[in-house]
Every structure is written in structure tokens, then in C-alpha cells.
């Protein structure tokens, strides 16, 4: 079971991801809708894994990923985007993300990726 922080500016996406990861036996230790909330929760809750949306108001996922990695270079982050731009995934992986997923998310795929990232 992993302790997971979910970061997405969409309440619907946060709630959906929360239900999926909890159904998979994981614990949601926080939900953030922007980069500053994400960093505050990351520092205070010490999640084992972060799901991070790329397209958010204010800071985008690249900026938040950079901050997370500066704080903890061994952090496990799964970047998520619905933009269809494959360059985002490449940048995320270069920036330290362990995996990149494209929306729409598939229930089974999310849990499989979480398991893969947690054992890596």
C-alpha cells in the first residue's frame, strides 16, 4: 500500500483518482489543486508517490515537478496529461518523473503503473 498525494486542478479528476487508488488498496494522504498546495502537502505529509497533472492554472506540472525534485530527488512522481503532446511526457521523464500517463485514464492502467513505480 502506497501513501499517495494527488495533484490536479480539476475536482472531478482528484475525486476520481482518489477513488481509484483507494480501491486499489492505497491511501490518499492529500489532494491539491495547484502547485503551492501540492508543495505544502508534499512537505508535510511525506507521500510515497505523487500523481501530478501537467495542465494547471498558475504553475504547470513541469514547475511543480522541479520543486518536488529539488526538495527530494528520490521522489516518485507520475505525471498525467490530457494535452496529447508527447513532448510533455519526455520532459517529465527527463525532469525526474517515474512514469507519464495520458488522459483519459484507464482504471486498471493507473493501478498497474502505481505498482510498477512503487517497486522500482
Check pLDDT > 90 for residue 63.
yes
Q: In the prediction, which pLDDT does 78 show?
A: 98
Looking at the domain that runs over 3-119, which CATH code has it been given? 3.40.50.2300
CB 113 within 8 A of CB 98: no
Percent over 90 (pLDDT), the chain: 88
Query: Looking at residues 39-62, what average pLDDT do you find?
Result: 95
pLDDT above 90 (res 57): no
Please report, for the chain, the start and end positions of each structural domain, with discontinuous segments joined by +: 3-119
Q: Which residue has the higher pLDDT, 26 or 105?
A: 26
Three-class DSSP category at 102: strand
β-sheet with 27-32: strand ranges across? 27-32, 3-7, 49-53, 77-81, 99-102
As a whole number of angstroms, the distance between CA 99 and CA 80 comes to: 9
Average pLDDT for residues 43-51, to the nearest whole number?
Answer: 98
Whether 84 shows a pLDDT value over 80: the answer reads: no
**Three-state DSSP class for residue 101:** strand
Amino acid at each position: 500500500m502506497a501513501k499517495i498525494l494527488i495533484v490536479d486542478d480539476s475536482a472531478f479528476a482528484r475525486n476520481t483518482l482518489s477513488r481509484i487508488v483507494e480501491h486499489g488498496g492505497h491511501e490518499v494522504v492529500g489532494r491539491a489543486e495547484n502547485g503551492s498546495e501540492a508543495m505544502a502537502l508534499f512537505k508535510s505529509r511525506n507521500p510515497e508517490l505523487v500523481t501530478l497533472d501537467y495542465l494547471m492554472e498558475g504553475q504547470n506540472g513541469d514547475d511543480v515537478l522541479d520543486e518536488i525534485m529539488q526538495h527530494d530527488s528520490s521522489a516518485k512522481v507520475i505525471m498525467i496529461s490530457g494535452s496529447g503532446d508527447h513532448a510533455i511526457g519526455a520532459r517529465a521523464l527527463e525532469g525526474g518523473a517515474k512514469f507519464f500517463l495520458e488522459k483519459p485514464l484507464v482504471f486498471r492502467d493507473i493501478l498497474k503503473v502505481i505498482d510498477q513505480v512503487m517497486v522500482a
